[in-house]
Amino acid sequence: ISPGNRMTAMFKLFKFYENYGVEEYYVYDPEDNELIGWLRSDEQLNYIESMEGWVSPRLQIRFETASGDLEIYQPDGLKFLSYVELSRQKELAQRQMELTQQQMEQERQEKELVKQKADRLSEKLREMGINPEEI
């Protein structure tokens, strides 16, 4: 339910979906943490008595509200993440990627320094008449 949706608009929307054959219909009020749903049987949508732990026959997802928020679980039991949770995960992954890139760049620079030092030593050996490949 969004703040602008009045009961009449909600009823019209419900009837629209019922008339066009939707199999399942859910309404969630985040302010009251109230989830209600209907399931199609024959030609009409029938009220679902309890949505707590309800598993959608079509989607195989489970609905939970006991924690004080709506939580929806995938068929494999993993929780669908909220926008905030997804944003945090993305930010963490981004930071981890940046750290990995920095470490790779540092390793590249260290290898370059080792190579430069080896090249200088090889050059000094050649100046002394020693072939570094024969050592």
Q: Which domain holds residue 64?
A: 7-80
Q: Is the pLDDT of residue 92 over 90?
A: yes
**Residues 64, 22 share a domain:** yes
Domain count, the chain: 2
**Residues 59, 21 share a domain:** yes
Segment 35-51 mean pLDDT? 95
Contacts of 94 (CB under 8 A, 6+ apart): none
**Residues 88, 76 share a domain:** no
Q: Does residue 47 lie in a domain region? A: yes
Segment 84-104 mean pLDDT? 97
Domain boundary among 58, 80, 102: 80
**Residues 12, 54 share a domain:** yes
Q: Does residue 2 lie in a domain region? A: no
Q: Does residue 64 lie in a domain region? A: yes
Closest CA to 23 of 2, 44, 5: 44
Q: Is the pLDDT of residue 1 over 70?
A: no
**Residues 21, 61 share a domain:** yes
Q: Does residue 1 lie in a domain region? A: no
Is residue 63 very low, low, confident or very high in pLDDT (cuts 50, 70, 90)? Answer: very high
**Residues 60, 23 share a domain:** yes
Read off the pTM: 0.64
**Residues 91, 51 share a domain:** no
**Residues 91, 67 share a domain:** no
Q: Does residue 27 lie in a domain region? A: yes
